[in-house]
Amino acid sequence: MQRLRAKPEPAAATEAVIDRMTEHDLLQVVAIEEGSGLSPWGWEAYYGELQARGHSIMLVARMSQPLDHDGCLIAGFIVARGIADEIHINNFAVRPDFRRRGIGQSLLAAALAWAREKKASRAVLEVRAGNRAAQSLYETCGFAVVGRRRRYYKSPVEDALLMTAALDWNS
């Protein structure tokens, strides 16, 4: 199993290891999903995606020490799928108390590195129109808004911005 060290960020108080998601991580991933306002996938969808290895990458930011009294070690996760010559970022979240520490940027960088290895030419994602923090992170990582999907999200209903980033895998 390949383990990637998250690059240190100035605001990082603790170090995360970016690692492949396992079935043992799913309860913590679902808890992060529920606390982040994502469109819910739930345990079964993540489990199904884990079984479909090959065309997807599922990563977690694993901390060396428990983050709470429940023994949670997962600070964030990202799920992406390769489709033709693109990678689609499906779900991505960091625990609210671990945001702005470089963990999200490290997770996204690892998923994009995987996409480059697969020779993907671009990355695609949707983000809530009102989620400026996420949009800022994506812009920092080279994404730009290319469209809008009206009423894309439910609970609450909100537009999605479609963002893409060109991936240069020749360098």
In a domain, 144, yes or no: no
* pLDDT attached to residue 10: 36
What span, in angstroms and rounded, lies between the C-alpha atoms of 99 and 141? Answer: 16
* pLDDT attached to residue 99: 87
In a domain, 104, yes or no: yes
Q: What is the pTM of this model?
A: 0.84
* pLDDT attached to residue 73: 86
pLDDT by position in tens, the chain (length 171): 344 444 433 334 457 899 999 999 999 999 998 888 777 788 888 888 888 767 899 999 998 776 666 666 899 999 999 988 999 999 999 998 888 889 999 999 999 999 999 999 999 999 999 999 999 999 999 999 999 999 998 878 999 999 999 998 665
* pLDDT attached to residue 67: 64
What's 71's domain CATH number? Answer: 3.40.630.30
Q: How many CB atoms lie within 10 A of CB 12?
A: 16
* pLDDT attached to residue 151: 93
Phi-psi region of 155 (alpha: psi -120 to 50; beta: other; left: phi over 0): left
Q: Which domain holds residue 46?
A: 3-126
In a domain, 27, yes or no: yes
In a domain, 122, yes or no: yes
Q: How many domains does the chain have?
A: 1
SS3 107: helix
Phi and psi dihedrals of 54, rounded to 5?
Answer: 115, -50
